[in-house]
Amino acid sequence: MKVIISCKNYNASDRLKDTIEKKFEKLGKYFSRDIVANVTLTAEKGEQYRLEATLNAVGTIFRAEERNSDPYTCLDKVVDKLASQMSKFKTKLLRKHKETKQEEVFAFAEIPDYEEPEEEIKVVRTKKFELIPMSVDEAIMQMELVEHNFFVFLNMETDSVSVVYKRNDGNYGLLDTKY
């Protein structure tokens, strides 16, 4: 597994970087291919740290984030969350990759079975709506007016379907699609 470590507002020690690489190498046993782990460590206000990790395994994305006053605690919790995600969705991943004949992506024998019964994911409500061309600012305004935390719209600037969303830090995010 290739681990890419980036830091924001913080210079991580070599010891911390080595620990991050070692912990993520252990997750590498779950994959039969070499994948990339992007790890970002950010120093926040109040001597808090945020560690975000994203693993892209050929179309399946695993992501975890943790905040704590100790970066090593953040690291342990993020690695635990990622391992738990892999265990929880092992059966679904097996089904998905057998259908697509890409079962060589994951080393399924290495992924531990999930302890709790698998919950069925079901759609409980479907909504249809007309995509209205608008700017990002207009979409954010509409999202705030309907008091949702996301809003789907036709982006006038890119002529594609986009989503604006409210982030945990109070700012906004934009998801753009491409075909």
Per domain, the residue ranges of the chain are 2-105, 133-176
Q: Model's pTM, two decimal places?
A: 0.60
Distance, C-alpha 82 to centroid of its chain: 10
Which of the four CATH numbers 3.40.50.720, 2.60.40.420, 3.30.160.100, 3.30.413.10 does domain 2-105 have? 3.30.160.100
**End-to-end Cα, the chain, rounded Å:** 29
| Distances in whole angstroms, Cα of residue 66 to Cα of each of 1, 44, 70 | 21, 12, 10
Measured CA to CA, the distance from residue 81 to residue 101 in angstroms comes to 27
With a CB cutoff of 8 Å and minimum separation 6, the contacts of 94 are 103, 106, 108
Which of the four CATH numbers 3.40.50.720, 3.30.505.50, 3.40.50.2300, 3.30.565.10 does domain 133-176 have? 3.30.505.50
Q: Over its length of 179 residues, how does the chain's per-residue pLDDT go in tens digits?
A: 889 999 998 888 999 999 999 999 888 777 767 788 999 999 988 889 999 999 887 667 889 999 999 999 999 999 999 888 877 766 666 665 555 554 454 555 555 555 555 567 788 888 888 888 999 999 999 988 888 899 999 999 999 999 999 988 889 999 999 87
The answer to whether the CB of 1 falls within 8 A of the CB of 31 is yes
pLDDT at 105: 47
